[in-house]
Structure 1
Amino acid sequence: MTSTVRLWSVACLVMLTSGELLQNGGFESLDHWICWGAGMQCEVTTYKHGGSHAFKASGRTASWMGPSQNIQFVPGHSYRVSAWMKVFADHPDQSVDIMVDITFTDGSHQYEALVTHYNVKASDGYVHLFGVYTAPTKPIQNTRLYFQSAPVPIDFLVDDASVTEETGGHVTIADLNHVIDQQRKSDIHVHVSTASVITKGDVKIRVLQKKKSFPFGTAVNAGRYNANLAGGKYRDFIHKHYNWAVPEGSLKWPFVEPQRGQQNYQPALDMIHRLRSHGIKVRGHNLVWSLPHFVQNWVKALSGNELRTVVKQHIQQTMSKTHGLLEHWDVNNENLHGTWFQDRLHDPDYDLELFRIAHQADPNVKLFLNDFNVVASGASTNDYLEQAQQVKKAGVGLSAIGVQCHFGDEVEPDISAIKRRLDTLAGAGLPIWVTELDVMSADENRRADFYEHALRALYGHPAVEGILMWGFWDQSHWRGEKAALVKGDNLQMTAAGHRVLDLYENQWMTDETHTLPHSGNQVSVRGFHGDYEVHVIYQGTELSSLRQTFTLGKGPHSVSVHVQK
């Protein structure tokens, strides 16, 4: 972790907690706890984590069965949630969860995981579930907290549970702008000398940014892109407004090889070559996807050494086909939430082998983890940190962590919560890339607010090194118009589109013109990182022979010009 990230994490916003909401969170008895689920057996046991006893739930017939207690969340307030749980049996994709059932004053319910710990095994003993949850802003009548294991109802223990309100740590737009100014900009000094006949007040210096260096990208549908859909407007929008891209689906194994031996990389390669010809860098998504429903049936029929060989051949061939064309690869997509390959091979460390294969196939490509519910929500944030630390420690070529940011339908991104979750993940000491960003709202002005809040929070965190949206056009977006920047056959700009492009191309780009001071010989500008031109204007006319270009990085840059008639 860089010193800047460490200072931001530790010094910028100190978290305070107050007021325990749970009663008898140590489970020294059954007092205050409801045995939630008919036929389930609830008891205290000495097989504890702390204190003298723990709660044991057995005879469960549904995943949601477990100890439950009614508490009260205040709309919009944040809560620090913690507990220790242990399972008594193993099952593929086994998780334990601290859940909540919120009843709103209008009678509606919201069921949500406050914290989830994935891939839990009996041999792990007690595992720690910890996270910070922000309650919905909608008026709340009652909150029921409960513990569960999924997907199967196995016996489990829970102990040392706690829910406390978190106060302080409120992030403002001013806080984010300060970080943006410090992290995304550097000083530009233009030193101007003039002939004796030149009046300094007649000299103006324009510092004009031509290209941004920070990656702002989008997912691209190869079929629509290659077909030059909408009269080329889809393709043109990408070329004009983004400097990074990621194939939405055309490099995924099920698309590349839906049937064994029937491979087709050409749609992806055609798109990648054209994107690169327009100066757009491309990341690869993904080599393997561990969620079972994204594994082809023919792959599911394999096992043992045959499966290992086929996977290795696929990775090697795919990275050979794309050699020199991609900057990144998501290696084992959403492996926190799905472990099909590890389970099929009975090898919990097979994910590390996948990284080794990919790294050996192309040591120059940066390899990523990529997962969800780690920033847009916080149920898996701490679990993801632990996974990143383990993969990093294994030394298998992990370069960065990708965070999907798919915010819920009509859910306003909480900039304070985003900051907290990014702080947590920054603890892995790895760069963070926002790989899949979208928000949802039927009201395009509200959608514009959502995108702005998310983008400011993400761009305003020093550990984030790139942001890619998961689409922008309603006719090519997995979430449709409610997430789109443009809509219709003519790609008509929505309020959300105007807002996002204003950030990208106006507020976060530099274009300043200053008159040379009568008593000085320097013009200074703090500019966003990227490619620049310096224009010298004398008596209203540019002296084109004095134009200079340069690239502004993380350090200051100086330019010298001499003005004469």
Structure 2
Amino acid sequence: MLPIGAVLVLALASALISLDSLISGEELLQNGGFESTSYWDCSNIHCALSNDKHSGHHSIEVSGRHENYESPTQNIHLTPGHSYHVSGWVKLLTDPADQHGELFHLEIGYTFQDGRHQYVSVAARQVYLTDGWVHLSGGFTASNTNIKAARLYFPGPVPTARFLVDEASVTSVNVVNNSNVVIDKIRKSNIHINVTTASNINKNDLRIHVLQTRKSFPFGVAVNAWRYDSNIAGGKYRDFIHKHFNWATLAGSLRWNHVEPKRGVDDYSIPLPTIHGLRNHNIKIRGHNLVWSVPQWVPDWVQQLSSDDLRHAVKSHFIRTMNTTRGLLEHWDVNNENLYSHWYQERLNDPHYNLELFRMAHQQDPHVKLFLNDVNVVINSARTKDYLDQAKEFKAANVGLYGMGAESHFGVDQEPDPAAIKDRLDILAQAGVPIWITELDTQSADENKRAHYYENALRTFYGHPAVEGIIFWGFWDKLMWRGPRAALVKGENLEELTAAGRRVFDLLENQWMTDDTRVLSQTGSHYTVRGFHGDYEVHVIYKGHDLSNLKQTFTLGKNDHTLHINVHT
């Protein structure tokens, strides 16, 4: 066997309709309650009934393992392309990692007709001795490849760890894709139009044109500040951003190692002109990031500081950077990817220092919105529930947390799975704070596959009531960190949209924008247009002439809007 593979919701309560309606079906497991060891394969390991259970009368205690991937397993029958929900409970009895916990997975192992094997982690969680029983759950869609056999596993902990498993379930799920219905529900409102006309107006010659000019929903992009202010591609890189996006994230130029490369030597000469340029084009900006817990992104000089000097340096950095950007940014990612790395906490021997970072940032600028931001919380389940717990902790601590950033970097030819993503978003939404998709990209050398992947991801995210914004992590093949296989635009002068780009901008600028023209004789004098949230112009056109004196503008939000138009000669 191979090693392991890898509120706003609240205000929209009507909206616990999300992208898909999920209807549970057949249970695939036998003896999922572990009332005996029947049906469970414990080859090469020791399984014994335990009276310590989560439900029922027993669980199974697992010991005598030799490899991390060994666990009780059971064959399951999967239908290719069908969706499933997986659930199970685990309890750690010994922790050879000495209080650092053990990473548990729920994993599906495939054997294909050609003999290949594939292992897919459906859910994962770091479990500690003090946690007691911990729930693992997730969704997945079965591979479309010819499946010879499939099995459920509970792998992950080091071989010497002892643990319990109980209450396992694999159920088929009927996924009814109704994304258009959901998007209509949560991203649109009614525009009620009442038209009165003079008696001499021929209604056959009168048209009302309702045109959306700008979106309210944030669709943004990561911006390379070093290239934005250059004349790269004759300024077409900069022009493309202005034309197609309403939000931006400075991808690297605000990081600590760039704005203070040497202690006490500040340099904001790269990000500030870009920030002002974007704002001049009505593009709002996310700050990314104040500190980053991954060691390679901690400035070299910072890594040499004593504990006291480190605390002082971080506080000074927060003060200077947030003062410099005050009033210019909407968001800050405070301590990036802190689920996976804890450099600052470990260096200071202070597990609660991350909370202190948020307190400092919130005190420095109470008006900017502060975010957690992490990876592998939506595209897979490696840390979904850990992220939920972290958000709940920060929310309860009242340190100024506004939202959760979910990086969404899909792997090469990893097709976004709407059922699984919805399941993870539903879990994160339990924190009761907005979710932003902060770093979206999909990857395939096949442009048509890439287009399909982007559309799947966008429909899933845009169709979930907890998601408040979506940021693409680049668009041009010459600057994307993942290169041409993730690009929306290609060519030295951005001269051509890829198939993915055509699909994405058709969604953003055609399908998800409102452009409605009615002839009054056909609609009647009172009618309703269902419109996407954003800024609008209304034009009255009579006998082919735009009556500019009757033009109206308005912004459509979550509440319906009524227009009164009086046409006379």
TM-score, normalised on structure 2?
0.89
Of 86, 91, 98 in structure 1, the residue corresponding to residue 106 of structure 2 is 98
| Contact preservation (8 Å) 2:47, 2:72 | no
Corresponding residue of 2:436? 433
Helix, strand or coil for the counterpart of 2:254? coil
Cα drift, residue 273 of structure 1:
1.1
Q: Percent identity, aligned pairs only?
A: 50
2:248 is matched with which residue? Answer: 245
In structure 1, what is the Cα distance between the partners aligned to 2:322 and 2:47? 54
Find the counterpart in structure 1 of residue 281 from structure 2.
278
Q: What does 1:409-424 align with in structure 2 at a 5 Å threshold?
A: 409-424=412-427
Letter in 1 for 2:171: E
Conserved 8 A contact 1:402-1:433: yes
Return the match for 2:293 from 287, 290, 293. Answer: 290
Residue range with higher mean Cα deviation, 367-376 or 338-347:
338-347
Give the structure 1 partner of residue 272 of structure 2. 269
Q: What's 1:82 paired with?
A: 88
1:117 corresponds to which of 115, 125, 134: 125
Report the equivalent of 1:26: 34
Per-residue deviation at 1:9? 3.0
Amino acid at match of 2:387: Y
Taking only aligned residues, the RMSD between alpha carbons, in angstroms, comes to 2.7
Deviation of the 1:495 alpha carbon? 1.2
| Alignment pair present for 1:130 and 2:130 | no
Question: What is the one-letter code of the residue matched to 2:408?
Answer: C
Partner of 1:500: 504
Structure 1 residues 139 and 313, CA gap change in structure 2 (3 angstroms): farther
**Superposed CA offset, 1:139-187 (max 9, x none):** 233345444446x66624132151412323x131xx2111211221122
Report the alpha carbon displacement of residue 52 of structure 1 after superposing the two structures with TM.
4.8
Tell me the equivalent position of 1:210. 213
AA matched with 2:140: Y
The CA deviation at 1:132 is 2.5
**Residue by residue, what CA displacement relative to the aligned partner does 1:79-120 show, whole Å, maximum 9, x if unpaired?**
3131213152436585333344433333333333322213x4
Among candidates 451, 456, 459, match of residue 453 of structure 1: 456
Corresponding position: 1:322 with 2:325: yes
Matches within 5 A, 1:367-446: 367-446=370-449
CA distance in 1, matches of 2:400, 2:270: 28
Alignment of 1:200-239 (within 5 A): 200-239=203-242
Provide the rounded CA distance (Å) in 2 between the counterparts of 1:113 and 1:199.
65
Which of 197, 200, 208 in structure 2 is aligned with 1:197? 200
Do the aligned residues in 1 keep the contact of 2:437 with 2:471 (CA within 8 Å)? yes
Aligned to 1:141: 148
1:166 to 162, 167, 172: 172
Report the Cα distance in structure 1 between the residues aligned to 2:84 and 2:527, rounded to whole angstroms.
46
* 2:39–2:74 CA contact under 8 A, matched in 1: no
Task: Evaluate the alpha carbon distance shift between residue 147 and residue 519 of structure 1 in structure 2; reply closer, same or farther with a 3 A threshold.
Answer: closer
SS of the equivalent of 1:158 reads: strand
1:518-540: CA deviation from partner (whole Å, max 9, x where unpaired):
89433432211111111111111
Question: Which segments of 5 or more consecutive residues in structure 2 lack a partner in the other structure?
Answer: 1-6
Once the 2 structures are TM-superposed, how far is the Cα of residue 26 of structure 1 from its aligned partner? 3.1
Inter-partner Cα distance in structure 1 for 2:13 and 2:225: 40
Mapped partners of 1:560, 1:475: distance in 2:
49
Task: Return the alpha-carbon distance in structure 2 between the equivalents of residues 71 and 497 of structure 1.
Answer: 41
Secondary structure of the structure 1 residue equivalent to 2:71: strand
SS at match of 1:376: coil
**Cα deviation, residue 134, structure 1:** 3.0
Corresponding residue SS for 1:375:
coil
Aligned counterparts of 2:383 and 2:499: Cα–Cα separation in 1: 32
Distance 1:80 1:498 in 2: 36
Q: Is the Cα–Cα contact under 8 Å of residues 529 and 554 in structure 1 kept in the other structure?
A: yes
Match of 1:359 in 2: 362
Give the whole-Å Cα distance in 2 for the aligned partners of 1:519 and 1:477: 47
Q: Distance in 1 between matches of 2:34 and 2:435?
A: 36
Alpha-carbon distance in 2 for matches of 1:323, 1:391: 23
Go from structure 1 to structure 2 and tell me whether the alpha carbon gap of 1:49 and 1:352 turns closer, same or farther (over 3 Å shift).
farther
* TM-score, reference length from structure 1: 0.90
Counterpart Cα distance in 1 of 2:254 and 2:232: 20
CA distance in 2, matches of 1:222, 1:154: 50
| Structure 2 residue matching 1:453: 3-state secondary structure | helix
Give the Cα–Cα distance (whole angstroms) in 1 for the partners of residues 248 and 313 of structure 2: 28
Q: Whole-Å Cα distance in 1 between the matches of residues 143 and 25 of structure 2? A: 19
